[in-house]
Amino acid sequence: MADAPSFHLYNSLTRQVEAVEPLEDEHLRFYACGPTVYTYAHIGNFRSFLTADLINRTAQALGWDTTFVSNVTDVGHLTQDDLVDPEGEDKMAAALEREGQRFANIYDLARYYTEVLLDDWNALNLLEPDVRPRATEHVSHQIKAVERLMERGHAYETDQGVYFSVDTFPDYGKLSGNQAADQLQATSRDTVQDPDKNDPRDFALWKKDPDHLMQWHSPWGWGFPGWHIECSAMSMAYLGDAFDLHTGGEDLAFPHHECEIAQNECLTGETSVRYWIHTRFLQVEGEKMSKSADNFFTVRDLIDPPEEGGRGVDPLALRYTLMAGQYRKPFNFTKKTLADSARIIGRYQDAADAVEHALQADAEGPDHAASTLPRLYDATLAAMCDDLNTPKALAKALEGVKFINGLGDDLNTATAHTAQEWLVDTNDLLGIIWHQGDAERAAPHENEDLATKVEALLDERAAARESGNYDRADAIRDELDAMGIEVMDSPEGTTWQRKAVL
């Protein structure tokens, strides 16, 4: 690799692209807001999680150490979360009521959707965080944080809860620009508010609610934590009072991240996070994603096989699609982009197969890739260091795939070694060629009974073609097509894969 480029990202706090300079030399410590585990995460959520993954991969490609923390919110996230002080029903409790008898209690619901999250996370080849803290397992941290804020004059108690006093933190609003009390009051709409609050901007650190399904004993009686204090407590528990970087979707900048900044800096007396990275929303076929528009997709809606209600999309193709647009620009998710991504992933897999065959063949000859593939990798890494410019990075990586697939007889052992190294390095950086558990997941035929049937039909088709019975061969192909199987003939033989139902 050439001299490592400088890693630049757009900092929402300063509103400019900046060089990332970790507090500890070549050790990036960062936190990503994880989901509230009350339902299946949708592809917009995973676009945000993917931004954190790509930051992690890019830092590691530069040779840095990384400490990555991403939480699970399993209490305290209220339904009107766009308000400065959210009201409404806890999302976990609302989900339990909606799910009926499916779960015995709210803890079972949280465990189930946490496992679903982990499955989807792995399917999309996101690196596992070093720590994945759960809010319910860190309530003592949150209580202690609220106690310190009260001791330092930044919080006060009412009959309904404990609130952060925004007036004691003059920098409130520096991330989002939302500062004026009258502006923030306008965001609260017609929700039930605590009449004893000192200021409409003040937000809850602890809620007293005897009807809430999750409760803990605290110095202020039984209750549950506010959503914002959870991330402050968990991030500082594992990353310290000051750490490098914090990511999340653009909807979290206000109020969630704004409140985190206020809490953190009043707890520590110093700047808590240097770089704030926010991922823009995505649309589907040019429209806002919503269930009412019938364009709302979870990961499972797309990657599960058709017989299980999904569309049979290769998870790596879904990952590739979500990377096709740069993270801080709005992105339009389309069926065409997804289909194009699936074809491109196929080209990567063809290249990987060709390299593997060449290594096994052990043919002599000069290295025809030595001057090309390392240069293309350096260009790919440089694009990722340029504020995660994924469109350019993917274009440079695709040049490498085209080069490998075009080598033909020049793909000898020496060339294959260089190509293999390029594939591994590119996958480590972008995560689009192989993933952990790949041999299990879709290699590419998860259903052994289906595979046996398909292979038998292909053998019969080959025999029919050999004997000149093309009508029978065509009929078998039609039968496979009706089964959702795509047949691909080439000079090297016939292969097959399950078709995505787009």
Order of strands, sheet of 65-70, starting from the edge strand that comes earlier in the sequence: 65-70, 27-32, 243-249, 273-279
In order of 214, 370, 381, the CA distances from 223 in angstroms are 8, 63, 48
Report the C-alpha gap between 438 and 230 in whole angstroms.
34
Question: Can you give the pLDDT at residue 89?
Answer: 64
Nearest 5°: the CA angle 130, 55, 232 is 55
Question: Can you give the pLDDT at residue 96?
Answer: 81
Secondary structure string (H, E, C) spanning 186-206: HCCCCCCCCCCCCCCCCEEEE
Q: What is the pLDDT along the chain (502 residues), one digit of tens a residue?
A: 567 899 999 999 999 999 999 999 999 999 999 988 888 999 999 999 999 999 999 999 999 999 999 999 887 555 444 455 555 566 777 778 788 778 888 888 889 999 999 999 999 999 999 999 999 999 999 999 999 999 999 999 999 999 999 999 999 999 998 865 444 444 443 334 788 999 988 999 999 988 888 889 999 999 999 989 999 999 999 999 999 999 999 999 999 999 999 999 999 999 999 999 999 999 999 999 887 778 899 999 999 988 888 889 999 999 999 999 999 999 999 999 999 999 999 999 999 999 999 999 988 999 999 999 999 999 999 999 999 999 999 999 999 999 999 999 899 999 999 999 999 999 999 999 997 545 333 333 344 567 788 888 888 998 988 898 988 988 888 888 777 787 877 666 787 766 665 5
C-beta neighbour count of 499 within 10 angstroms: 17
Question: Can you give the pLDDT at residue 185?
Answer: 45
The answer to whether 322 touches 342, Cβ cutoff 8 Å, is no
Question: Can you give the pLDDT at residue 75?
Answer: 79
Question: Can you give the pLDDT at residue 323?
Answer: 97
Question: Can you give the pLDDT at residue 487?
Answer: 81
The answer to whether 99 touches 112, Cβ cutoff 8 Å, is no
In order of 122, 123, 172, 254, 418, the CA distances from 434 in angstroms are 11, 11, 44, 36, 18
Question: Can you give the pLDDT at residue 290?
Answer: 83
Report the C-alpha gap between 492 and 228 in whole angstroms.
58
Question: Can you give the pLDDT at residue 499?
Answer: 63
Question: Can you give the pLDDT at residue 88?
Answer: 57
| Strand 331-333 versus strand 282-284 pairing type | parallel
Question: Can you give the pLDDT at residue 190?
Answer: 34
Q: Is 163 helix (H, G, I), strand (E, B) or coil?
A: strand
